[in-house]
């Protein structure tokens, strides 16, 4: 059973949840958890968060009432001792539910929750293309079949799990919240465009699934054709050095600038003329959501994840496999800013109600529905016993 609107008539109250995530780096899952945990705590759920590595998204969780952080030691991503440390944490915290985030903790955390007899929920933040091969993906799927539920942030993510699960595992689609860093922040790109030229923004992990090699080639062509265009790129990842080398070789290091991670991305979006994202696949992409909510015009890949929440008139769509299509889409968006602004306004209207408060309420309702209906696997009785101790 898949639910996008979980039953709000709760018969089992959730009071304590343990979230497990490998790190608090600059990724979308890390950002969403850093927003979700404090909101769950505000709604009465005691949240514990276990992690191995720090990162920029951890600051949002520090000193939050109702949120307890547990830094776990690990000498590497393959340290076998991490299993024992996670197991000890689960037994110490005694949660009603464990929720795992990102594939490493889906394996480590899921396995240890299963061993401890505690019902666990797998978070799905991507789509099937990410799991085409590898032993971790196979183990994750095996553990998913023994989970109490899978919560995905996109229909594409749940479609993947429907090929892996039987009917005993509950599935939910709960899309990401949209929370600009500055409340009330709106797009100001059109008011400054004529003063300083056109500004294009990219934000995301510099990795293969973000299709950044083709993006850079298209950006080089646009910058070469238009002397008024500047590109600001925010994010980190394994391809950064290669991309910088290509930009330098093209002679555009001063006009295509890589800034690394930004703690104030919403403000950067508000100052941009266009935000561009040409990923090969996505879950429910934070950057596109937040740019749309602010009102920044979008040039995006024509993939199912984007079409899930945006219509045909909400963005300039491009073929992510074709550099020429990416170049043409961006050039068209820059060349007709009135139309781009109209598309942006339409996109922003689709995202009303995607608040962090609504996100917390949906997760809390899902947790309580799982507990009240009896989570799958052998952990249900022990979890109920711990809840009443």
| Residues sharing a CB contact under 8 Å with residue 70, sequence separation 6 or more, in sequence order | 48, 49, 50, 51, 89, 93
Give the integer Cα–Cα distance in Å for 384 and 117. Answer: 11
Residues with Cβ < 8 Å from 299, sequence gap 6 or more?
274, 275, 276, 277, 278, 315, 316, 318, 326, 329, 330, 333
CB 49 within 8 A of CB 56: no
pLDDT digits (tens, 9 = 90+) for 268-324: 999 999 999 999 988 888 899 999 999 999 999 999 999 988 999 999 999 999 999
Fill in the DSSP letter of residue 295. Answer: T
Could you tell me the pLDDT band of residue 100, with boundaries at 50, 70 and 90?
A: very high
DSSP 126: S
Residue 375 has pLDDT above 50, yes or no: no
Residues 54-73, buried b or exposed e (16+ Cβ, 10 A)?
ebbbbebbeebebbbbbebe
Encode pLDDT of 314-353 as tens digits: 999 999 999 999 999 999 999 999 999 999 999 998 887 7
pLDDT, one tens digit per residue, over 11-41 is 489 999 999 999 998 788 998 999 999 999 9
Domains of the chain, residue spans: 16-177+355-373, 198-351
CATH number of 198-351: 3.40.50.2000
Domain 16-177+355-373, CATH among 3.40.50.300, 3.40.50.2000, 3.90.470.20, 3.40.50.2300: 3.40.50.2000
Q: Indicate whether 141 pLDDT > 80.
A: yes
313 or 389, higher pLDDT: 313
Ranges of beta strands (E only) in 136-181 are 149-152, 170-173
| pLDDT tens by residue, 182-223 | 566 677 765 555 556 899 999 999 999 899 999 999 999 999
Q: Distances from the Cα of 268 to the Cαs of 125, 199, 229, 260, 378, in angstroms?
A: 24, 10, 16, 13, 48
The pLDDT tens digits of the residues spanning 105-136 come to 999 999 999 999 999 999 998 876 776 667 88
Say yes or no: do domains 16-177+355-373 and 198-351 share a fold: yes
């Amino acid at each position: 059973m898949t639910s996008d609107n979980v039953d709000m008539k709760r018969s089992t109250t959730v009071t304590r949840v343990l979230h497990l995530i490998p790190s608090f780096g600059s990724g979308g899952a890390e950002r969403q958890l850093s927003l979700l945990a404090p909101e769950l705590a505000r709604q009465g759920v005691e949240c514990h968060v276990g992690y191995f590595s720090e990162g920029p998204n951890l600051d949002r969780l520090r000193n939050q009432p109702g949120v307890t952080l547990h830094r776990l030691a690990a000498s590497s991503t393959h340290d076998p001792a991490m299993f024992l440390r996670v197991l000890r944490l689960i037994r110490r915290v005694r949660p009603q539910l464990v929720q795992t985030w990102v594939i490493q903790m889906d394996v480590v955390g899921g396995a240890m929750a299963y061993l401890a007899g505690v019902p666990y929920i797998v978070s799905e933040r991507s789509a099937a293309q990410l799991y085409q091969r590898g032993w971790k993906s196979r183990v994750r799927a095996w553990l998913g079949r023994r989970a109490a539920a899978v919560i995905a942030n996109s229909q594409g993510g749940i479609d993947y799990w429907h090929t892996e699960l039987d009917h005993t595992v509950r599935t939910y689609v709960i899309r990401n919240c949209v929370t600009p860093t500055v409340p009330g922040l709106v797009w100001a790109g059109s008011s400054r465009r004529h003063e300083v030229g056109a500004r294009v923004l990219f934000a995301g992990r510099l990795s293969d699934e973000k299709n950044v090699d083709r993006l850079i080639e298209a950006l080089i062509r646009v910058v070469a054709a238009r002397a008024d265009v500047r590109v600001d790129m925010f994010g980190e990842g394994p391809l950064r050095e290669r991309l910088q080398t290509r930009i330098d070789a093209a002679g555009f290091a001063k006009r295509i600038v890589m800034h690394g991670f930004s703690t104030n991305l919403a403000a950067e979006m508000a100052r941009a003329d266009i935000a561009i994202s040409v990923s090969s696949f996505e879950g429910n992409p934070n950057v596109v959501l937040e740019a749309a909510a602010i009102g920044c015009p979008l040039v995006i890949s024509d993939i199912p994840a984007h079409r899930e929440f945006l219509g045909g008139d909400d963005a300039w769509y491009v073929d992510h496999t074709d550099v020429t299509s990416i170049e043409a889409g961006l050039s068209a968006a820059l060349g007709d800013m009135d139309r781009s602004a109209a598309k942006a306004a339409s996109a922003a209207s689709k995202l009303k109600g995607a608040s962090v408060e609504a996100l917390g309420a949906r997760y809390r309702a899902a947790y309580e529905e799982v507990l009240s209906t009896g989570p799958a696997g052998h952990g249900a009785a022990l979890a109920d016993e711990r809840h009443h101790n």
